[in-house]
Homo-oligomer: A and B are copies of this chain.
């Protein structure tokens, strides 16, 4: 990937991230923080690749820690987000009422 293309991807991804959550209501701040925390758990695939290519013991130890931490991020992030959002389900109708404009998409 050339540097220029990388810059474009960076710019577009940043715009996308910004715009995608621009209308989040206050009651979803905490679940959304948790949800985006889960998304960067994708670091797991990088940690797997890094450990998969490690040779010296030091590299292996750090790589092992990396995979362990990343798995914690991904799994933990998923579980707590799911638990929080689960509770919004029970009150589906009310939630709809409280979000005018949400149906514009």
Contacts and interface: CB of A to CB of B under 8 A. Distances in A.
Given A22-B104, A23-B23, A105-B22, A5 B1 contact: yes
A5 B16 contact: no
A105 B86 CA distance: 30
Contacts of A8: 9
Which of A9, A16, A22, A104 has most chain B Cβ within 10 Å?
A: A16
A2 B23 CA distance: 34
A20 interface: yes
Interface string A4-33: 010011001101100110110000000000
Nearest to A21: B19
B9 A5 contact: yes
A19 B23 CA distance: 11
A68 to B, nearest CB: 29
Interface of A: 1-2, 5, 8-9, 12-13, 15-16, 19-20, 22-23, 101, 104-105
